[in-house]
Structure 1
């Protein structure tokens, strides 16, 4: 079994809770093949016209620019990483109500008709990743689990809607640490409790997969 961990925070674990969640998960997963795809360490040009130009040149046989070669290679690397995974773990923060731009780029690379989903003869979307499972590890300093704030949260919800809703992965676990910035006097306890849940997820996966 192959576990792909998509790490989407380049701040140190001493400063960023989602980075600490990633480290905690990695320290407690065992007996499986684990690969980290660090979106901040990878060469990942943003999705745009360069990619579409590259597609056209692949078809026509024209020579590609360095940027076109880079983005085509980056897209393929992300797709290959997802293809090889049985379980995908997303470790990421909520930044400005949404996900980091680099994580968005990863999603942009793999969000492709014919790869993660397709359209049937009636024009309905069909999920193509139903053989894979996903785990959500997310940190947010504010509190977004209340009915009033929940509609504003576009990080964990977005990843679940894409990975689960569009791609068809089964979301088997979710750990969200929230409120540590809003309640600094309780931050240590909030984070510690969340990290224990991350440990439990990693150990549960280890037990299932070993």
Structure 2
């Protein structure tokens, strides 16, 4: 099974960094899993914008690309190749300012391509990757699972809508650690419980989702 683990936090002491590390430690000796990592902060990932649209237009016309345009197309293709090769995608990401980090959003911008992850039809948008499975590993210092706060979370909700909705992938597991900053007296217990769930998700991967 090909597993792509996307690391969406570059803070050494970040909770989702620890979730990523815990997951990787748990699966490292599993010979049934072919693990590939994609660190959005370590990859060369110029932001999505007009330079990319210029590059796509030039490519279709057979025109020569400048260095910036070629760099963008190369980065986009690398992200697409990584996603396409995976049977399971594991995403470890925080909630920053109610949403996901910009670098992770850039990865999603790269792979959200009509004809690749979805297509337009007369009946509406059709997902093109229903065979792939997803595990979401998320942390947020506040509590966003309550009815009044849930609409403010544009991290997990966004990822569900994109990977589960737009791409049609099957979200088979979610581990969400929340409230450790809001309740510092309970932070250690909250984080420990979350890490236990990360380990369970990793152990279940080989046999439960094959």
Q: TM-score, normalised by structure 2?
A: 0.96
Instruction: Give the CA deviation at 1:208.
Output: 3.7
Partner of 1:24: 22
Number of aligned residue pairs? 207
Distance 1:59 1:96 in 2: 38
Q: TM-score, normalised by structure 1?
A: 0.96
Instruction: Give the CA deviation at 1:123.
Output: 4.4
Instruction: Give the CA deviation at 1:57.
Output: 1.3
Give the secondary structure class of the aligned counterpart of 1:105: helix
Distance 1:95 1:140 in 2: 8
Partner of 1:98: 99
C-alpha RMSD of the superposition: 1.1
Distance 1:61 1:125 in 2: 29
Structure 1 residues 77 and 149: alpha-carbon distance in aligned structure 2, compared to 1, 3 A threshold:
same
Distance 2:206 2:168 in 1: 23
Partner of 1:6: 6
Give the secondary structure class of the aligned counterpart of 2:173: strand
Unaligned runs of 5+ in 1: none
1:177-202 C-alpha deviation (Å, 9 max, x unpaired): 00000111110110000000000000
Unaligned runs of 5+ in 2: none
Instruction: Give the CA deviation at 1:65.
Output: 1.3
Instruction: Summarize the alignment of residues 1-210 of structure 1 with structure 2, pairs less than 5 Å apart.
Output: 1-12=1-12, 15-29=13-27, 30-31=30-31, 32-120=33-121, 122-208=122-208
1:145-182 C-alpha deviation (Å, 9 max, x unpaired): 00010010000110010000110000000000000001
Instruction: Give the CA deviation at 1:107.
Output: 0.4
- After the TM superposition, which segments of 4 or more aligned residues of structure 1 sit over 6 Å from their partners? none
Distance 1:60 1:209 in 2: 43
Distance 1:94 1:144 in 2: 10
